[in-house]
């Protein structure tokens, strides 16, 4: 059996990676993809046939890249010129690769759906096929109802993130070289980790959410400083060095991954560690990998998964990745060709991220009350250039992309992104006075009242808000709308069929307001959110333009003006794409939830979650609590009245192109189930 071997490096060891292969594909050696090593090629679900497309096949293996440090397409990659090179003067990297495509070349649509994998996973099957999530899809439930397959799309995943957790699960990873100084000397710099502690603990992990951590290069270096503070913007107090120490949890490797504090870390406090590290990986190669896998599929005549059009999908972290991708000009490959023809940038708000600087941590994302002040919410925010009155800069997100290379783009955000990711900045001027229209190649869609993500099922008791008939984690389903928009985007890319008009809140018509201006009803027991996430003008140091962070933590300047959607009398957001849950409401759905019951910052947002507040069932229940909202009895009469409204709403959404006909009955049935659940639940 042939084996593919090359040298790579993790945070602890230099290793020789050898992969047993079932097949070796050798594309054009002038391409940036210089090898596809196929480890597995199987029929999906034993040859199950989808619509007019027939059977799908699954290809899994490795892809090897070679990047030219001198090529203008790579000039934005931080430290690329400090990376070791092969005999041809290229910088090598390799990534995990999974492809699902129609087995019969004659039935392939020629459109590639390239998902930028969120933390190594495969979200597209959950988001668009209504499937059960699994990192290695093999069973029927893992492929769901097959929407992407019925559309005949070639679905591609490639590893791009160097620090994906090392787990037995089939997560997608990217292996990159490390930067070296002259004559192989070490490159050093500062790394930062922080924690909002909600329960007492003895240990804190250096990495974020189980990702691979940078270890300290010298545990006694004077740069290693641990501080504590009481609030997000509060004053830091240095903890004496003798009171804390680094610790390795893996005795075999000895890799330092945690810190321990004498007496433990206390609830309600924010701890922050700055420390010295060495050997930064070339993190920005992840941007080039996502570029080059699509370029290979589009332009290499020997590709095993050929396409004519490329559409990228990113959700949350990877939606921000795609905004970063465009800002740094990566939609042009090393041969000056357009890469992506369409982008679906979902729940990214106004963010970018830690995707291309020295000692970057791609998982860190600057949440409302976690991961504070990492380089995420960065000007410019709008696609067209808009002047910042504070800094004097006048830039746009697409300034480095010529019009001919700009993809057709959907920006889709839930209400949470307006509260938790400063989404209003993508369509307002930096001075906060005017709306900014999207470009002709763009649409902006707002999922009214939705939280950051959706999970099936109904609220459970452990999610109940103390002292109120309400729950965190709302059942409002935004994925049905997202499925429809995905189909519309592919059609726009492929045939120029015009998608629905943009739909989002505006300053001009009063549907976009300050957080204090939200006219939320006074619902018994419900504390109202008034503190949105703020995007500060942050100073990361004099070499930040070169991708080097000198200020750890950054120096905060003025915050950009942030606005949020206005609500109706139910407390549901007025503007945007209002799904069945709002056209025939059974509840108030807020895209925010508060840290009620936490040891600190009770009035700050919980990350990603919304609040679900059912309407009173009848007038007696409404009067007993003084709820200002109508009861279901008064509003609908009975279930038949409710279902009539639901069916009218479904017809309207299908006619507007934001619900697929195939989803009509699914959503009608779901609303019927919702009514029944409300009338049988135990309060």
Cα separation, 148 vs 155, in Å, equals 8
pLDDT of residue 19: 43
Cα separation, 139 vs 423, in Å, equals 37
Q: Angle, to 10 degrees, between the axis of helix 317-327 and the axis of helix 285-299?
A: 80
Q: What share of the chain is helix, strand, coil (3-state, %, to 5)?
A: 20, 25, 50
Q: Considering the chain, what is the average pLDDT of its residues?
A: 94
Cα separation, 361 vs 592, in Å, equals 26
Considering the chain, what percentage of its residues have pLDDT values greater than 70?
Answer: 95
The owner of tokens 């049988």 is 680
What pLDDT band is residue 355 in, cutting at 50, 70 and 90? very high
pLDDT of residue 430: 97
pLDDT at 468 over 80: yes
Nearest to 246 by CA among 186, 188, 212, 205: 205
Residue 198 has φ and ψ, to the nearest 5°, of -105, -10
Q: Average pLDDT in the 552-559 region?
A: 98
Cα separation, 313 vs 483, in Å, equals 12
pLDDT tens string 84-107? 999 999 999 999 999 999 999 999
Residue 227 has φ and ψ, to the nearest 5°, of -125, 165
pLDDT tens string 176-189? 999 999 888 999 99
Tokens representing 536 are 């500060």
Nearest to 143 by CA among 128, 158, 163: 128
Element (H, E) at 191: strand 188-196
pLDDT tens string 142-198? 999 999 999 999 999 999 999 998 777 789 999 999 999 988 899 999 999 999 999
pLDDT of residue 169: 78
pLDDT of residue 624: 96
Cβ atoms of 636 and 549 within 8 Å: the answer is no
What pLDDT band is residue 24 in, cutting at 50, 70 and 90? very low
What does pTM read for this prediction? 0.96
pLDDT at 29 over 70: no
Sign of CA dihedral 429, 434, 440, 444: positive
Q: What is the largest CA-CA distance in the chain?
A: 81
Alpha carbon distances (Å) from 511 to 390, 417, 514, 652 = 26, 15, 10, 22
Cα separation, 272 vs 275, in Å, equals 10
Tokens representing 490 are 């592919």
In the DSSP assignment, the letter for residue 8 is: E
Domain boundaries defined on the chain: 19-183+282-307, 188-278, 315-683
pLDDT of residue 31: 55
pLDDT of residue 381: 98
Bridge-partner residues for 360, per DSSP? none
pLDDT tens string 209-258? 999 999 999 999 999 999 999 999 999 999 999 999 999 988 777 889 99
> Radius of gyration over alpha carbons of the chain, in Å?
25
pLDDT of residue 51: 86
Sign of CA dihedral 136, 140, 145, 147: positive
Cα separation, 581 vs 565, in Å, equals 17
Nearest to 513 by CA among 553, 551, 554, 568: 568
pLDDT of residue 126: 97
Bridge-partner residues for 410, per DSSP? 344, 443
Nearest to 353 by CA among 419, 345, 269: 345
Q: Average pLDDT in the 12-40 region?
A: 60
pLDDT of residue 588: 98
């Amino acid at each position: 059996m042939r084996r593919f071997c090359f040298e790579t490096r993790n945070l602890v060891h230099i290793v020789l990676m050898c992969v047993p292969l079932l097949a070796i594909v050798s594309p054009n050696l002038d391409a940036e993809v210089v090898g596809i090593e196929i480890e597995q090629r199987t029929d999906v679900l034993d040859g199950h046939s989808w619509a007019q497309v027939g059977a799908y096949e699954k290809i899994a293996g490795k892809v090897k890249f070679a990047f030219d440090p001198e090529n203008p397409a790579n000039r934005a990659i931080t430290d690329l010129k400090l990376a070791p090179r092969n005999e041809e003067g290229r910088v090598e990297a390799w990534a995990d690769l999974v492809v699902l495509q129609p087995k019969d070349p004659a039935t392939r649509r020629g459109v590639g759906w390239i998902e930028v994998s969120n933390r190594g996973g495969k979200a597209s099957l959950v988001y668009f096929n209504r499937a059960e999530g699994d990192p290695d899809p093999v069973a029927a439930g893992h492929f769901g109802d097959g929407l992407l397959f019925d559309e005949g799309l070639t679905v591609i995943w490639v590893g791009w993130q160097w620090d994906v957790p090392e787990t037995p699960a089939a997560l997608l990873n990217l292996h990159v070289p490390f930067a070296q100084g002259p004559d192989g000397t070490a490159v050093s710099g500062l790394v930062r980790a922080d924690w909002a502690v909600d329960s007492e603990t003895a240990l804190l992990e250096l990495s974020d959410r189980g990702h691979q951590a940078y270890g300290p290069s010298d545990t006694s270096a004077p740069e290693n400083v641990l501080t504590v503070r009481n609030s997000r913007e509060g004053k830091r107090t240095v903890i004496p060095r003798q009171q804390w120490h680094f610790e390795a949890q893996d005795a075999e490797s000895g890799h330092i991954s945690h810190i321990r504090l004498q007496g433990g870390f206390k609830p309600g406090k924010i701890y922050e560690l700055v420390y010295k590290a060495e050997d930064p990986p070339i993190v920005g190669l992840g941007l080039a990998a996502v570029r080059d896998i699509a370029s290979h599929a589009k332009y290499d005549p020997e590709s095993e998964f050929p396409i004519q059009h490329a559409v990228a999908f990113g959700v949350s972290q990877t939606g921000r990745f795609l905004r970063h991708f465009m800002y740094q000009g990566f939609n042009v490959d090393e041969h000056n060709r357009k890469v992506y023809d369409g982008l679906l940038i979902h729940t990214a708000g106004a963010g970018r991220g830690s995707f291309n600087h020295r000692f970057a941590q791609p998982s860190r994302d600057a949440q409302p009350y976690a991961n504070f002040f990492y380089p995420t919410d960065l000007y410019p925010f709008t696609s067209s250039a808009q002047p910042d009155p504070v800094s004097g800069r006048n830039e746009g997100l697409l300034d480095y992309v010529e019009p001919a290379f700009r993809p057709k783009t959907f920006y889709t955000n839930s209400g949470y992104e307006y509260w938790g990711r400063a989404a209003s900045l993508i369509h307002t001027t930096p001075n906060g006075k005017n709306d900014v229209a999207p470009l002709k190649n763009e649409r902006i869609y707002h999922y009214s009242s939705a939280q950051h993500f959706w999970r099936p099922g109904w609220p459970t008791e452990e999610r109940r808000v103390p002292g109120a008939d309400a729950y965190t984690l709302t059942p409002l389903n935004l994925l049905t709308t997202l499925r429809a928009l995905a189909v519309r985007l592919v059609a726009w890319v492929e045939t120029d069929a015009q998608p629905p008009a943009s739909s989002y809140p505006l300053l001009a018509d009063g549907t976009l307001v300050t957080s204090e201006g939200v006219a939320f009803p006074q619902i018994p027991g419900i504390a109202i959110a008034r503190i949105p996430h703020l995007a500060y003008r942050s100073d990361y140091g004099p070499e930040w333009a070169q991708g080097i962070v000198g200020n750890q933590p950054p120096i905060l300047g003025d915050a950009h003006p942030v606005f949020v959607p206005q609500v109706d009398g139910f407390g549901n957001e007025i503007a945007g794409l209002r799904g069945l849950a709002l056209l025939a409401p059974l509840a108030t759905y807020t895209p925010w939830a508060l840290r009620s019951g936490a040891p600190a910052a009770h009035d700050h947002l919980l990350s990603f979650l919304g609040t679900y507040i059912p309407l009173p069932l009848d007038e007696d229940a409404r009067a007993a609590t003084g709820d200002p909202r109508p009861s279901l009895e008064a509003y609908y009469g009975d279930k038949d009245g409710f279902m009539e409204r639901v069916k009218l709403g479904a017809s309207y959404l299908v006619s507007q192109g934001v619900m697929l006909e195939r989803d009509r009955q699914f959503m009608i049935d779901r609303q019927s189930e919702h009514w029944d659940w409300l009338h049988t639940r135990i309060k």
